[in-house]
């Protein structure tokens, strides 16, 4: 096997270097190479990571593995895989002499092993079904892997045969007797994600039938729709697997009761470790010595945006204790340090997403990084490698030493440098103001790329979704302020009441008040921004939002009808009653409105945009993904009908093959250009 030394975006052509500066474009965004999370070798001398490129002709992305030698200063990244099919989910062998990964290069998704001393990648699994995700045991002698199967099948061949038979059946009807009948963008077909275990034989392959670890439980491991191998881990000795699962039964669509289970790696009955907590428990990881099990836990059932706090469980005694309970942040991801004395974690924090160190004994929390968004990280021995983004940069890798100054982390990659060599990004700044109840609220502003002193610029006023989320100092491939800056717009975006990273009380404050404090924050935030930044032209402004942000666009139509020249509503809630009965994850609408619609209809109707249609007058572009089962197509059609029936200028952009997000490259280009053209027609022409 040849390992060509291909530099990722470090060479800049002379013509590009001499080119005049230009703004960031939609095409730039779609074509960017995207760096994934780093995975350190056991001896911390090398790091493997993924890079996703985009093929516009094929209208899809392609992900491959790259490696950096950390021992050599300014080492060139080495591309490890070059297949037409993507390669992902890299894991190091215990000896650090090979990398395991997932790829469908043979026609189905299987586990492969690439020896780093030379030679081609070899298939480790050759199963009749796709391997969705996997983990290698610390001893390298076993895989834990997840497969989608019919749980009443005795083996994998049965599931394959049943799928083949369904494909030949001319009748298309399906019968259901419980929710979820559909989830995110997929109709249920009767299969569950089941966690299996399989030994690796002397030849380096899995030749035996995998043994089910979670099949006795009525649930998915990992969870749908976005769960991955972070929801299960081996113990350090490789003898035990810990995983999280939610029992489905008839209540899955309105339950967030995930529990942490352990099971012998070779097979056996799972043991529930968190039955005492009816809320969400997940992402359990053993300490390096195997004596302590850490996991993330919420306290309130059915609330998906409750604070994830850290719990440590003594494996020998079963005793649990909460760590850093006074630290009012919700942990998104974490890792043990190699000495087992601390845990590294990331969490939203006042418009940033830094890396923190949590002392396991005392619970003392130290912030390690500053501005920016740490999107992934790994730690081995005394080395930390992290992927970090900002409002001016896609993910790049950085390295620092444990106990050292993370603010001085060494940059390891410069992906997209050549492609964006002549791009001038819009300058941005965080600001604060007194919002609802006089409480401090934060937001960001961004200038157009070519901003000049004394000139006012039209405003794209962006409202984030969630609603329990944050529109902070991070890079996005869907809602990216730099695209608007490149098109000549100033942008303003506010972390209104309900946003994450400002304490759980602030996050909680939006539930039951969707159209109250958040709207007040948006009004006051835009006014404060215009007063503070004289280059903002308030008279030329349009509002844009998706999901909850789309709801807010509909709410603005009836409650801030003179606020904007135009509106863009992507997959937004129009009718709260229809939403309550048609969305798939019922726990969300029921928590946000204080119960099921049939129990508390007034609560659901309190902020129902459909009741205020007579006040609508602002021109609106409506965008809807037809595979969006979170906020179904009828919501977008209802919005468009309300506008058209009253003669309000409006357009409808529908994507038959997209879900709650616009993901396909060609669709992303169309989406962005349609949106910017809508803004141009009201703010520039």
The closest alpha carbon to 572, from 650, 668, 640, belongs to 640
**CA 529 to CA 335: how far, in whole Å?**
38
155 part of the active site? no
- Set 575, 660, 668, 672: catalytic member: 660
Q: Under 8 Å CB-to-CB from 501, ≥6 apart: which residues? A: 329, 347, 348, 349, 350, 351, 352, 353, 470, 472, 495
User: Do the beta carbons of residue 521 and residue 497 sit within 8 Å?
Assistant: yes
Tokens representing 143 are: 């895989």
- Set 37, 86, 93, 547: catalytic member: 547
Q: Where would I find the beta strands (DSSP E) of 217-341?
A: 232-234, 240-246, 258-264, 271-272, 281-286, 292-297, 309-314, 320-323, 331-336
Tell me which residue has tokens 């489905």.
248
**CA 576 to CA 466: how far, in whole Å?**
16
**CA 130 to CA 152: how far, in whole Å?**
18
- The rounded Cα 19 to chain-centroid distance in angstroms is 36
**CA 112 to CA 145: how far, in whole Å?**
13
* β-sheet bridge partners, residue 653: 623
* β-sheet bridge partners, residue 396: 388
The closest alpha carbon to 569, from 467, 483, 489, 652, belongs to 652
Residue 446 backbone dihedrals phi, psi, to 5 degrees: -140, 135
93 part of the active site? no
Q: Under 8 Å CB-to-CB from 537, ≥6 apart: which residues? A: 456, 457, 458, 459, 490
Q: In 3-state terms, what secondary structure has residue 161?
A: helix
User: Do the beta carbons of residue 610 and residue 635 sit within 8 Å?
Assistant: no
189 part of the active site? no
End-to-end CA distance of the chain: 57
Residue 645 backbone dihedrals phi, psi, to 5 degrees: -65, -25
Q: Quick one: CA dihedral 147, 153, 159, 162, positive or negative?
A: negative
* β-sheet bridge partners, residue 145: 134, 196
**CA 572 to CA 577: how far, in whole Å?**
14
Residue 211 backbone dihedrals phi, psi, to 5 degrees: -100, 135
Beta strands at 490-495 and 440-446: parallel, antiparallel or unpaired: antiparallel
Angle at 220 between CA 175 and CA 283, to 5 degrees: 155
Tokens representing 660 are: 């709650």
| Structure-derived torsion over alpha carbons of residues 8, 9, 12, 13, reported in degrees to the nearest 10 | 80
Rounded (to 5) percent helix, strand, coil in the chain: 20, 30, 50
Q: Quick one: CA dihedral 652, 657, 662, 664, positive or negative?
A: negative
The closest alpha carbon to 40, from 397, 550, 328, 535, belongs to 397
Q: Under 8 Å CB-to-CB from 9, ≥6 apart: which residues? A: 33, 414, 415, 416, 417, 418, 419
Q: Which residues are catalytic?
A: 547, 628, 660
């Amino acid at each position: 096997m040849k390992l060509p030394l291909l530099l990722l975006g470090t060479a800049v052509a002379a013509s590009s270097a001499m080119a005049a500066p230009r703004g960031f474009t939609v095409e730039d965004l779609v074509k960017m190479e995207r760096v994934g999370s780093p995975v350190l070798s056991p001896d911390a001398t090398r790091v493997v990571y993924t890079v996703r490129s985009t093929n516009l002709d094929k209208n899809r992305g392609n992900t491959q593995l790259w490696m950096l030698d950390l021992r050599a200063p300014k080492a060139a990244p080495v591309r490890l895989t070059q297949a037409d099919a993507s390669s992902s989910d890299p894991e190091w062998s215990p000896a650090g002499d090979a990398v395991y990964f997932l790829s469908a290069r043979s026609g189905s998704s299987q586990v492969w092993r690439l020896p780093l001393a030379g030679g081609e990648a070899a298939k480790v699994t050759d199963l009749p079904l796709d391997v969705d995700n996997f983990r290698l045991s610390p001893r390298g002698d076993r895989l834990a892997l997840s497969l989608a199967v019919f749980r009443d099948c005795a083996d994998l061949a049965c599931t394959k045969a049943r799928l083949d038979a369904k494909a030949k059946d001319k009748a298309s009807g399906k019968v259901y007797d419980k929710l979820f009948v559909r989830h995110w963008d997929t109709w249920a077909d009767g299969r569950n994600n089941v966690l299996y275990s399989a030994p690796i034989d002397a030849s380096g392959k899995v030749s035996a039938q995998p043994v089910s670890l979670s099949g006795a439980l009525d649930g998915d491991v990992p969870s749908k729709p976005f769960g991955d191998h972070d929801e299960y881990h081996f113990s350090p000795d490789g003898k035990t697997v810990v995983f999280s699962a939610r029992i489905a039964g008839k209540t899955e669509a309105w339950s967030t009761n995930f529990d942490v289970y352990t099971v012998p790696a070779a097979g056996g009955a799972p043991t529930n470790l968190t039955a005492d907590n009816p809320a969400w428990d997940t992402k359990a990881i053993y300490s390096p010595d195997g004596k302590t099990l850490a996991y993330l836990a919420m306290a309130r059932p059915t609330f998906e945006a409750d604070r994830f706090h850290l719990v440590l469980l003594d494996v020998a005694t079963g005793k649990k204790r909460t760590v850093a309970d006074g630290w009012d942040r919700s942990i998104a991801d974490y890792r043990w340090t190699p000495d087992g004395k601390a845990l590294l974690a990331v969490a939203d924090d006042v418009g940033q997403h830094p890396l923190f160190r949590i002392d396991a004994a005392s619970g003392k929390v130290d912030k390690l990084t500053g501005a920016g968004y740490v999107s992934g990280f790994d730690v081995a021995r005394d080395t930390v490698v992290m992927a970090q983004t900002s409002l001016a940069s896609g993910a790049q890798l950085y390295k620092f030493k444990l106990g050292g100054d993370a603010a001085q982390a060494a940059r390891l990659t410069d992906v997209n440098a050549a492609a964006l060599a002549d791009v001038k990004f819009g300058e941005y700044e965080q600001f604060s103001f007194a919002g609802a109840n006089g409480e401090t609220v934060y937001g960001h502003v961004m200038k157009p790329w070519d901003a000049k002193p004394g000139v006012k610029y039209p405003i794209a006023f962006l409202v984030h979704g969630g609603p329990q989320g944050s529109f902070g100092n991070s890079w996005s491939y869907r809602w990216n302020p730099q695209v608007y800056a490149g098109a000549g717009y100033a942008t303003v975006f506010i972390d209104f009441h309900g946003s994450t990273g400002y304490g759980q009380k602030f996050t909680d404050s939006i539930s039951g008040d969707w159209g109250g404090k958040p709207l007040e924050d948006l009004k006051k935030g835009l006014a404060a921004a215009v007063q503070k930044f004289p280059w903002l032209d308030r008279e030329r402004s349009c509002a844009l939002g998706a999901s909850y942000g789309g709801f807010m666009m509909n709410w603005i139509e009836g409650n801030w009808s003179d606020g904007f020249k135009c509106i863009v509503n992507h997959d937004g809630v129009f009718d709260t009653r229809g939403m309550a009965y048609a969305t798939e994850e019922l726990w969300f609408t029921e928590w946000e409105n204080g119960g099921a619609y049939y129990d508390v209809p007034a609560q659901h109707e309190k902020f129902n945009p459909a009741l205020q249609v007579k006040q609508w007058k602002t021109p609106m572009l409506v965008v809807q993904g037809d595979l969006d089962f979170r906020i179904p197509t009828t919501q977008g059609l209802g919005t468009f009908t309300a506008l058209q029936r009253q003669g309000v200028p409006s357009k409808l952009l529908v994507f038959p093959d997209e879900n709650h997000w616009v993901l396909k490259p060609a669709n992303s280009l169309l989406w962005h250009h349609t949106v910017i053209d809508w803004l141009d027609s009201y703010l520039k022409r």
